[in-house]
Structure 1
Amino acid sequence: MSTPDRRTLIADTAIDLVAAAGLRGLTHRAVDAAAGLPAGSTSYYFRTRTALIGACYQRLAELDLGDVDADGPPPAEADRGAAAATLAALLYRWLTTGRARQLARFELSLEAARTPELAPELHRAGLGARARATAILAGLGAERPEEAAELLVGWTEGILYDRLAGALARSRPAPNLAELTSVARRMVDAALL
């Protein structure tokens, strides 16, 4: 495994800090210390906190799309079952091994809602997931794949939020792949109506 470049290391470390301590824990100095970098390294690459948060958005989008692509290309033929299984595997990954990263993404998204200069970075970061969902749903025969993708991404975000930080975060047992597959199938079917 290769060593990440400094920018990637800084963004990954910043994401970990946000997941662990929220935005109050995100400082240039804290990133330097957690990454084991000399003091001033983070501010050399990302002069402002806004630039550092923008780097987090970009890295989160890159990692999330990498997860989407990890299961291979979308089904070549109209196979709702395969699409639902792929979505369920993605949800399972994000609720387990990717949990901290998704918590950081939600935290950073809320910051963008309150800080207008961060909104363009968040918007750009979110377009990749919607493009992937649009392509998959178009392949499954959606009449209006862009609209269907908006719904599917919104439902996916809702499940993630509810299980990670919402009402079910503490009361729901560990994610179950079979249950998530059933939920994903209903979501895919509903998006294609």
Structure 2
Amino acid sequence: MPTPDRGPDRRTLIADTAIDLVAAGGLRALTHRAVDAAAGLPAGSTSYYFRTRTALIAACYQRLAELDLADLDADGPPLPPPPLPPPDRAAAAAALAGLLYRWLTAGRARQLARFELSLEAARNPELEPDFHRAGQGARTRAAGILAALGADRPEEAADLLVAWADGLLYDRLAGASARSRPAPDLSELTSVTRRMIDAALA
């Protein structure tokens, strides 16, 4: 029986491994035994920390949210504290484009896993609260940025902006023409994100 001495580290390792398995093989590839093997853990480790498949998927939602927010902190639109001036639209668009570029290139597998795992929440009512909670961080961050840019109703504007960003990612990663599209281009993405921000603020 696995011991809990490295619980937090093992939970992160298990969640990261589960996300990688889903990205590579879809939800059919996600089993407790497969995670143990891919993570190099003793048999039974994944089920020790996450007794059910639902609990394992919920851990993936939490980990995906952590990683996406870390990317937002590194690359996302700035939200400076007073008394510094708020970001302008051009700077916010450039930062959002850089974030989307990261997720279309180096972060491609993780975003594919996120889309795959999101469908499970639509089918399993037990997962819906975990999925909703995981998605709130990005919306809260977007609302703060849009408020700094002058949005009258920043929460509504954030819902639109996040939906458009998700739609763009899905279209370019898994849409009907994803395989035939040109490689991601930062300048083109910057033009698109500027239009998205202008529309969200309109």
- What range describes the TM-score normalised by the shorter chain of this pair? over 0.9
CA distance in 1, matches of 2:53, 2:29: 12
CA RMSD of aligned residues (A): 1.1
Q: Percent identity?
A: 82
TM-score by length of 1: 0.96
1:74–1:83 contact (8 Å) kept in structure 2:
yes
Task: State the match for 2:50 in structure 1.
Answer: 46
* Equivalent residue letter for 1:29: R
* Equivalent residue letter for 2:60: C
* Equivalent residue letter for 1:175: P
Extract structure 1 runs of 4+ deviating beyond 4 A.
none
* Alpha-carbon distance, 1:75 to partner: 4.4
Task: State the match for 2:135 in structure 1.
Answer: 126
TM-score by length of 2: 0.92
Task: State the match for 2:121 in structure 1.
Answer: 112
CA distance in 1, matches of 2:139, 2:13: 26
* Alpha-carbon distance, 1:78 to partner: 4.2
Residue 29 of structure 2 is aligned with which of 12, 16, 25? 25
Give 1:33-182 correspondences, 5 Å limit: 33-71=37-75, 74-76=78-80, 77-182=86-191
CA distance in 2, matches of 1:101, 1:19: 6
SS at 1:143 equivalent:
coil
Equivalenced residue count is 190
